[in-house]
Amino acid sequence: MSAQIRLMALAGMLALGLFWSGDVFAAADEAKKYYSQGMTQASQGKYDAAAESLRKAIEIRPKFAEAYHLLGIVYANGQRRFSDAADSFKKAIELNPNFAEAYYNLGLVYQVQGKMVEAEQELKRALAIHPKYEEALVALAQLYERQQAYPKAVTAYGQILALKPDHLEALYALGYLYESQGRSQEARDLLAKLVKLKPDHADAHYLLGTIAEKANSTPEAEQAYRKAVAARPDFVDAHYNLGFILKSKGELEAAAQEFRTTVKLRPDYADAYMNLGVVYALQRKFNDAEQAYEEAIRLRPAMAEAYYNLGVFYEFHMRDTVRALATYRKYLELGGTDERVQRIVREFKK
C-alpha cells in the first residue's frame, strides 16, 4: 500500500458552501484565498509553502474542515509528518463528521504507522458514510490481505468487483487469493478476464502459467509465460519457469537461453544455475555444465539437489568415479535420499 494520500476532488471542495454575508464575508474570502493557494502549492510539490498557506486559512477560519484535511495531506505526502497528519484529519472529522475522505486518509495514515486496528476502523467509517467508496474498499481489502485475513479480503475484493466489474487491481488480487485457496478455476476465470482487459498484465499471465502447469497443461503454461516475459522482459521467475518447460520439451538451446537470462537478471538464483548445468550437460558442453553446477553450490552450499546433479554429471558424463563418490557423499550428508546413490556409496565402503 502506498503511503501517498490522495489529493481528491480538491477543486470540488472549493465549491462547498462558502456563503457568508455582512462582516464575515471578507474573512471567509481571505481564508478561501489561502486555501486555494495552498492547494496550488501542494499540487506543485511546494509542501512547506502549502502548509503555511493552509495554517493561515485555518487561523482566519478555525472551523475550515477542508483546510484541515488538505493540511493533513500535505503533512503526510510532503513532510512525512504522520502524527501531525492524523491530528489534522481528526480535526477535519470533528468539524465535519460526514467527511468520508478524511476518514479514508486517516485510515491510510494509521496503516503507515502500523496501527492496523485503527486503520480498519476508519476505513469502515468512510464506507459507512459512502458505501460505494471504491478507494476505501481497495484500501480495506489490501489491509485484510496484509493481515492474512483472507476471507475478509476476498469479500472486500468481491464488493469492489460488484461496483466495478472491470477493476484491474481487484481482478488480479481476487484471482491470486482464489488460487492460493485452491480455487483454481475461479482464479483462472478472473485472470482470463483481466488479460483481455489489459493484455500486458505480466503478473496475471504468470499466474495463469502456474495454474496451467499445475493442471499439466504445458502448452498453455508456456504460452502464458511467454506473454509474461513479453510484457515484462525482466520478469525473472517467468524466464525461469519458461526455461524449465523448454528443458522438459527437449528444446535445450532455448531453455539454456532462458536460464542464462534468469541468472543475468538475478545472479544469485542457484536453482537457475543448477538447471543451466543440466541443460549444458545434455548439450555436451561439459566445462560450462560443471561451472554452472559449482556456481549453484557456491550460492547455496546446502543445496542437496545440486550435489546430486553434479554427482550424476561426474559419473555418467565425465566418467570420474572418485569425484562422483565424493559429491554423492556430500549429497547424502545434506539429507539426500536417492536409493541408487545410497547403494553406490554403501557398496564402495565394502
Q: Each residue of 311-330: pLDDT tens digit?
A: 999 999 999 999 999 999 99
pLDDT in tens, 26-39: 667 899 999 999 99
Instruction: Pick the closest to residue 190 from 163, 215, 161, 218 (CA basis).
Output: 161
Per-residue model confidence (pLDDT) at position 5: 54
How far apart are the C-alpha atoms of 96 and 74, rounded to whole Å? 19
Per-residue model confidence (pLDDT) at position 14: 27
Instruction: Pick the closest to residue 324 from 304, 303, 293, 345 (CA basis).
Output: 345
Q: Which amino acid is at 234?
A: D
- Calculate the CA 113 to chain-centre distance: 20
Residue 8 has pLDDT above 60, yes or no: no
Q: What is the DSSP letter of 316?
A: I
How far apart are the C-alpha atoms of 73 and 42, rounded to whole Å? 9
On average, the pLDDT of the chain sits at: 92
Instruction: Pick the closest to residue 204 from 183, 182, 165, 232 (CA basis).
Output: 232
**pLDDT grade, residue 242 (50/70/90)?**
very high
Environment class of 15 (CB within 10 Å of its CB; exposed 0-12, middle 13-18, buried 19+): exposed
Q: Which residue has the cell 503454461?
A: 221
How far apart are the C-alpha atoms of 136 and 177, rounded to whole Å? 19
How far apart are the C-alpha atoms of 31 and 51, rounded to whole Å? 13
Residue 126 has pLDDT above 80, yes or no: yes
pLDDT in tens, 224-233: 999 999 999 9
Residue 3 has pLDDT above 90, yes or no: no
The x, y and z cell numbers of residue 266, run together, are: 538475478
Residue 23 has pLDDT above 70, yes or no: no
Residue 241 has pLDDT above 50, yes or no: yes
The x, y and z cell numbers of residue 317, run together, are: 558424463
